[in-house]
């Protein structure tokens, strides 16, 4: 018994040290004061050991242990909290629902495998791709909880190929019918982890892979830390890395992300429904992350309806990502993206380092129900509800600073297009060195300033500027 307690004490001490190490990251004293207030303020401290194996969970990679694991979680929470532990091995599980004061300790040598049975993911109210609707639960759920941690060095594998295949089959059926926009909603792919309406949640030092849809969604929550998380093997569609969705005081640091869509993405609702909810994403600090494949190192949107503001990024790196700093919205989204500071970014072989668009992906962004369709889902009607007046649908990109950036191996360095009706305003680029095939273009931009921006391109051409006010300042 003493030996067991000693081991548990050692594990706890190691965990506490790991938690404290998150503070030893890049620091810039000129960053906004609010960056010191982001992330989880507390972490579970109870050392009570609640073993899933004592409730019957089997580490054989075959037996469905969902019920056993949930019993361990529920009892641990009832007793005031503690550590949910696992013997080494592989555990098959459906949706798990974590409770307050619980630390889900998935240690090295432990793998949670997502069940392939749809019935293991009960449907519940949530928000998906900007619309509130009923949807299958995630594999790991933190809902209406406080003081929760997911940690340990092990692996959570969503085994998402089943849902990737389902999506592609549905999309092949839908596209000829003009229903591309509905595919993402109707496919009902299982997310790997959702933190919803919760506070003081930490996800650290775990490997997440093969999510059926988005990997980590932080929804309607505050004071959340995503630290030292590795996301990989996400070859399926829409396997975003970390989505921060109408949430605040979020810290994302020291992660290694490789997936098939946006890597770290900030969202705030879509169109009529997002404007109804009107909840911003704000006070988000992103630092010291390594981003590999994916749609964008840091993406803003396309769900912008509730607004995105007060975002800071420091010393991140992208290698082979499709896009770098990515701003995207549509003519029906509305909202804003403002007060953004990106500093100390390195991009290697990132095809499109800087992209801005207010008319993103029309076949997905604009929903139209064919006239011969009957008995349509309620959320189709919501997606088709017009945003009026029309001007309310234009998103405002403004007050953005991007500084101290090194770029090599780019294709098109600038790809920026506002709208005649809505200019992209007050954007400053400072101390940028970039090498690529093309300099790119900027149009419908107002009060942009490029200071000490040095571009080396194969074509030798400068940035093409049209219908814009752009000041270029060289510093010798």
Which residue shows structure tokens 């095939």?
437
CA angle 444, 445, 450 (to 5 degrees): 140
Asked if residue 287 lies in contact with residue 262, where contact means CB atoms within 8 angstroms, the answer is: no
CATH class of 2-20+30-473: mainly beta
The two structure tokens encoding residue 367: 């929903």
pTM of the model: 0.94
Q: Tell me, what DSSP letter sits at residue 377?
A: -
CA dihedral of residues 167, 172, 173, 178 (deg, nearest 10): 110
β-pairing, 290-291 with 317-319? parallel
- Cα–Cα distance measured from residue 336 to residue 214, given in angstroms and rounded to the nearest whole number: 23
Beta bridge partners of 323: 352
Taking the C-alpha atoms of residue 113 and residue 90, their distance in angstroms, rounded to an integer, is: 7
Q: What is the pLDDT of residue 200?
A: 98
Q: Is the torsion defined by CA of 429, 28, 350, 282 positive or negative?
A: negative
Residue with tokens 């004071």: 223
Strands annotated E in 115-198: 123-128, 131-136, 140-143, 146-151, 155-157, 193-196
Q: Which residue has the tokens 């696992």?
A: 86
Judge contact between 205 and 151, C-beta under 8 A.
yes
At 25 the pLDDT is: 87
pLDDT at 24: 67
Q: Determine the pLDDT at residue 14.
A: 42
Inter-CA distances, 202 with 149, 211, 259, 282, 454, Å: 5, 19, 21, 18, 40
Exposed e or buried b per residue across 306-331, where buried means at least 16 C-beta atoms within 10 angstroms of its C-beta: bbbbbbbbbbbbbbebbbbbbbbbbb
Closest by Cα among 405, 411, 407 to 438:
411
pLDDT at position 474 is 78
The angle formed by the CA atoms of residues 269, 241 and 111, to the nearest 5 degrees, is 130
Other CB atoms within 10 Å distance of the CB of residue 208: 29
User: Over its length of 476 residues, how does the chain's per-residue pLDDT go in tens digits?
Assistant: 344 434 344 444 444 444 434 446 899 999 999 999 999 999 999 899 999 999 999 999 999 999 999 999 999 999 999 999 999 999 999 999 999 999 999 999 999 999 999 999 999 999 999 999 999 999 999 999 999 999 999 999 999 999 999 999 999 999 999 999 999 999 999 999 999 999 999 999 999 999 999 999 999 999 999 999 999 999 999 999 999 999 999 999 999 999 999 999 999 999 999 999 999 999 999 999 999 999 999 999 999 999 999 999 999 999 999 999 999 999 999 999 999 999 999 999 999 999 999 999 999 999 999 988 989 999 999 999 999 999 999 999 999 999 999 999 999 999 999 999 999 999 999 999 999 999 999 999 999 999 999 999 998 999 999 999 999 987 64
What per-residue confidence (pLDDT) applies to 475?
A: 60
Preceding peptide of 389 cis, ω within 30°? yes
Token pair, residue 282, equals 């704000």
The Cα-based distances of 273 to 127, 218, 269, 400 in angstroms read: 10, 18, 7, 26
């Amino acid at each position: 018994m003493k030996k067991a307690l000693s081991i548990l004490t050692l594990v706890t001490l190691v965990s506490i040290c790991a938690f404290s190490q998150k503070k030893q990251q890049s620091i810039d004293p000129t960053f906004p004061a609010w960056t010191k207030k982001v992330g989880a303020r507390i972490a579970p401290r109870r050392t009570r050991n609640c073993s899933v194996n004592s409730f019957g969970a089997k580490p054989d990679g075959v037996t469905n242990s969902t019920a056993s694991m949930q019993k361990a979680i529920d009892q641990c929470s009832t007793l005031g909290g503690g550590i949910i532990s696992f013997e080494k091995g592989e555990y098959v599980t459906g949706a798990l629902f974590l409770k307050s004061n619980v630390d889900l300790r998935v240690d090295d040598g432990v793998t949670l495998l997502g069940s392939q049975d749809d019935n293991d993911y009960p449907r519940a109210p949530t928000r998906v791709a900007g619309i509130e609707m009923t949807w299958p639960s995630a594999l790991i759920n933190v809902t209406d909880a406080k003081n929760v941690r997911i940690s340990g060095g092990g692996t959570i594998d969503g085994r998402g190929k089943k849902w990737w295949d389902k999506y592609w089959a549905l999309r092949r059926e839908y596209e000829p019918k003009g229903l591309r926009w509905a595919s993402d909603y109707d496919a009902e792919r299982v997310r790997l982890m959702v933190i919803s309406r919760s506070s003081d949640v930490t996800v650290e030092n775990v490997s997440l892979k093969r999510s059926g849809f988005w990997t980590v969604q932080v929804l309607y929550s505050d004071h959340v830390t995503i630290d030292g998380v590795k996301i990989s093997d996400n070859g399926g569609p829409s396997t975003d890395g970390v989505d921060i969705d109408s949430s605040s005081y979020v810290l994302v640091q020291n992660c290694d992300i490789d997936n098939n869509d946006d890597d770290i993405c900030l969202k705030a609702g879509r169109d009529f429904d997002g404007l109804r909810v009107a909840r911003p994403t704000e006070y988000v600090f992103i630092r010291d992350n390594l981003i590999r494949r994916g749609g964008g190192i840091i993406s803003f949107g396309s769900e912008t309806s509730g607004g995105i503001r007060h975002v800071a990024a420091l010393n991140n790196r992208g290698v082979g990502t499709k896009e770098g700093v990515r701003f995207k919205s549509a003519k029906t989204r509305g909202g804003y993206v403002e007060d953004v500071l990106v500093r100390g970014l390195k991009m290697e072989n990132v095809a499109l380092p800087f992209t801005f668009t207010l008319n993103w992906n029309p076949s997905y962004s604009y929903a139209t129900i064919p006239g011969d369709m009957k008995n349509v889902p309620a959320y189709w009607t919501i997606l088709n509800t017009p945003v009026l007046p029309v001007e309310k649908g234009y998103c405002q990109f403004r007050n953005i600073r991007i500084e101290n950036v090194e770029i090599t191996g780019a294709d098109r360095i600038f790809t920026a297009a506002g709208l005649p009706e809505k200019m992209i305003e007050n954007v400053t680029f400072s101390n940028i060195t970039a090498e690529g095939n093309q300099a790119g273009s900027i149009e419908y931009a107002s009060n942009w300033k490029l200071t000490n921006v040095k571009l080396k391109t194969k074509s030798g051409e400068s940035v093409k500027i049209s219908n814009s006010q752009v000041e270029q300042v060289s510093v010798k």
